[in-house]
Amino acid sequence: MFEKLGHSIVKRRKSVLALFIVALIGLGALAGLAIPRLSGGGYSNPNSDSAKAGKYLIDTFHVKDPAVILEVKSSTSITDPSVVADATALERAIAAEPGVLKTLSYWSAGGAPTLASKDQKAAYLFIYSPENDPTNAKSLGKLIASKYDGNYKGLHIYVNGIAAFNSALSDKISKDLALAEGISVPLIFILLLFVFGGLIASATPLIVGVSAIIGSLAIIYLISLATGVSIFALNLITGMGLGLGIDYALLMVNRFREELHHGKDVESAIVNTVKTAGKTVFYSGVTVIITLASLTFFPLMFLKSFGYAGMAVVATAIVAALVPFPAILALIGHRIDKFVVRKSAITPKADGRWAQTARFVMRRPVAVVVLSLTVLAIIASPIRNVVFSQADARVMPANSPIAIANAAATADFPGQEGNPIEFVIPHGATKSSEVASYQAKIQSVNGIARVGRSEIVGKDLRFSAVHTMNPRTNEAEALIKEIRAIKAPAGTLIGGVAADYTDTQAGIAKTLPWALGWIGLGVLILLFLFTGSIILPIKAVVLNIISLAAMMGALTWIFIEGHLTWLVGSFTNTHTIDTSMVILISVVTFGLSMDYEVFLLSRIKEEHESGLGNEDAVATGLQRSARIITAAAVLLAIAFAAFITSGVTNIKSLGFGVAFAVLLDATVVRGLLVPALMRLFGERNWWAPKSLKRFTINH
């Protein structure tokens, strides 16, 4: 199949290139529409009890969460006539703004004590949007923040709330993304120049990287027409598109030049490149797609978005590397080595440093395995202190208005007035004594500031309870579990942000075994088909798990214990790591590690099938592929490490986690552990039952 594809592309190279340019222009037009459609939310489990409670509140009680929450602060009492006049004028002005459905404040609610701060010098003003889901009211959040954050007459205004947070987050991520690209693209080109030694060979891989980004953004736009997509997906698209697209092109260019240097004509070189490196790109990409598909199993839109984005970016990178890119190489031909800046990179040695390293490792395999595993265990050791949570306004820089507003609200108000626990009791109006007893028990729970009055619509009843801790924390999760353990009237639904967080964590925990099973089974089957071995796929999965443990240890050491802030920059340390982000980083790094595993095993298997013994095949395969694997890993690490410059903590952790794991995998795992273990297993590396051998792919 790949040989036929190579012949077809060479014969029609000009037509293929012309179609590629037309397609890229069309996809670019769609890609430009994607960013405005992306959302900052997506952390909720839509199938949970808290989601059912939320729907009940909207449909039956017409209760909505405010899109924007203003803390209105004065230097005197909020009952002072001048403060009342200024606050009333502020509320009238906001009510007249476009996109505002209604407002509710301490003053318009008749001095409701629940909306006042503990020192009586600040009060809440809630702003509601026509949107059923306030997370979609980003434009309203941006409008209110731009016009009212700061001083208004004699008052000081802090703008908070989900819509304002989503707007600020989207703006921050977009700006940080531009900065990251400005850093990574020049560095990647310089590294490519060092690896290939020529300007033309160094520039061509960028075509695949940019194409992967544009194509996947276009696909994400189409997906966003049917379902929500998180704004965070942009970072994955940029990082993986640039890094993985260039990695695939790197493999193709390297093999093309190798074929030319062996005396083949351009057509034969292209055909053999697609037949060998192209096949490796295809199967390594499918491995990554299978891994990333597991993210769509989770109920959270946030994680599903990364699954959609990841699969889209890998698929477009594969297509770009296998179809238009060989056509470009065919047109360039022998000019691929023009404009040399480093002669030694033009013709890599057949038996160089990497082969010598492999032979050194294989002479002392037990010592290398023990030492490598010891180092990885030390790096992984901080994992014992890991604490999981969920993102809130503290992921933003501490000096951002939204983070300042969140800190002010936490300091000034005794409870989470804007984030109460909601209780819905169908037919509760007929159970007054039972409801009263239930409310009394809730009031006695440690962490509950107060229980509100009941509201009845028909036979249904609702009330709320204000708690004292941030809703997206382990403390709030424990509170919800304690409340749910209390015997409640039949049919009671518990909602609100804290319940939503609890149900989200539970949804992740419930889905995780299925996702892990999918990844493990899919990768084992695909690697068996690719290698014809039972041992190698199992070894690859085990080594990846060890590598992931080391990555988690490093994340814990930095983002929980607070080390290396000079490297990653300042951030608000919540002493927790976002659960969803940990899953994302783990899945992405597992997929990328398997990508490099396929790169390496493909070349080793090719050398083994050509007649070399196990040790010679490992040494030669490592020599011919490790330089490219290391370069590919460094390129991908640069693409992700640039995200460390972001002011958003989640993006910092994504950038560091992926970059660290990829570099660790390409050096300690692929450079030391793989050859050492392959030496220990010997020819057993390639064992499989004869009945299964017929299902494997010939190299």
Measured from the Cβ of residue 425, the count of other Cβ atoms closer than 10 Å reads 25
pLDDT for the residue numbered 513: 93
Backbone angles phi, psi at 153, to 5 degrees: 55, -125
pLDDT reading at 347 higher than 70:
no
pLDDT for the residue numbered 340: 64
pLDDT reading at 29 higher than 50:
yes
Beta-bridge mates of residue 450? 466
What percent of the chain lies above the pLDDT cut of 90? 38
pLDDT for the residue numbered 118: 85
Query: Which position has the higher pLDDT, 673 or 595?
Result: 673
Write down the CATH number for the domain with range 420-495. 3.30.70
**636 near 592, Cβ under 8 Å?**
yes
Is the domain covering 2-40+167-392+503-693 a CATH 3.30.56.10 domain?
no
Model pTM score: 0.84
Backbone angles phi, psi at 355, to 5 degrees: -65, -40
Residues 6+ apart with CB under 8 A from 384: none
pLDDT reading at 355 higher than 90:
no
pLDDT for the residue numbered 422: 93
pLDDT reading at 518 higher than 90:
yes
Mean pLDDT of 537-552: 92
pLDDT reading at 627 higher than 80:
no
Mean pLDDT of 332-354: 64
pLDDT for the residue numbered 598: 81
Query: Which position has the higher pLDDT, 54 or 352?
Result: 54
- pLDDT, tens digit, for every residue of 75-120? 999 999 999 999 999 999 999 999 999 999 999 998 888 788 888 9
- Parallel/antiparallel/unpaired status of strands 493-495 and 460-467: unpaired
Total count of residues recorded for the chain: 699
Task: Indicate the domain borders of the chain.
Answer: 2-40+167-392+503-693, 67-160, 420-495
- pLDDT, tens digit, for every residue of 451-482? 988 888 888 999 999 888 878 788 889 999 99
Q: Max alpha carbon distance in the chain (Å)?
A: 93
339 pLDDT band (50/70/90 cuts)? low
* HSE (side-chain half, CA atoms, 13 Å) at 23: 16
Q: How far is CA 462 from CA 46, 71, 447, 458, 485, in A?
A: 21, 26, 20, 11, 19
Q: Which of 506, 646, 522, 509 has its CA nearest to residue 590? A: 522
Lowest mean pLDDT among 525-529, 532-536, 687-691: 687-691
483 pLDDT band (50/70/90 cuts)? very high
In angstroms, the CA 311 to CA 298 distance is 15
* HSE (side-chain half, CA atoms, 13 Å) at 444: 7
- pLDDT, tens digit, for every residue of 146-189? 999 999 888 999 999 888 888 888 888 888 888 888 888 888 88
- pLDDT, tens digit, for every residue of 218-230? 999 999 998 888 8
pLDDT for the residue numbered 314: 94
Query: Which position has the higher pLDDT, 627 or 532?
Result: 532
- pLDDT, tens digit, for every residue of 605-624? 878 777 787 778 877 777 77
Residue 692, SS3 per DSSP: helix
pLDDT reading at 135 higher than 80:
no
In angstroms, the CA 304 to CA 309 distance is 9
pLDDT reading at 242 higher than 60:
yes
Mean pLDDT of 23-38: 88
pLDDT reading at 39 higher than 70:
yes
In angstroms, the CA 219 to CA 207 distance is 18
The reply to whether domains 2-40+167-392+503-693 and 420-495 share a CATH topology is: no
Residue 420, SS3 per DSSP: coil
In angstroms, the CA 589 to CA 547 distance is 9
In terms of Cβ atoms closer than 10 Å to its own Cβ (0-12, 13-18, 19+), residue 203 is: middle
Mean pLDDT of 276-291: 89
Element (H, E) at 448: strand 448-451
In angstroms, the CA 7 to CA 378 distance is 51
pLDDT reading at 346 higher than 50:
no
Residues 6+ apart with CB under 8 A from 61: 424, 455, 457, 460, 462
pLDDT for the residue numbered 341: 61
Query: Which position has the higher pLDDT, 190 or 548?
Result: 548
pLDDT reading at 348 higher than 60:
no
How is residue 134 written in tokens?
């306030």
697 pLDDT band (50/70/90 cuts)? low
* HSE (side-chain half, CA atoms, 13 Å) at 420: 22
Q: Which of 134-143, 232-241, 362-371, 625-634 has the highest mean pLDDT?
A: 362-371
Fold of 67-160: Alpha-Beta Plaits (3.30.70)
**627 near 620, Cβ under 8 Å?**
no
In terms of Cβ atoms closer than 10 Å to its own Cβ (0-12, 13-18, 19+), residue 225 is: exposed
Residue 155, SS3 per DSSP: strand
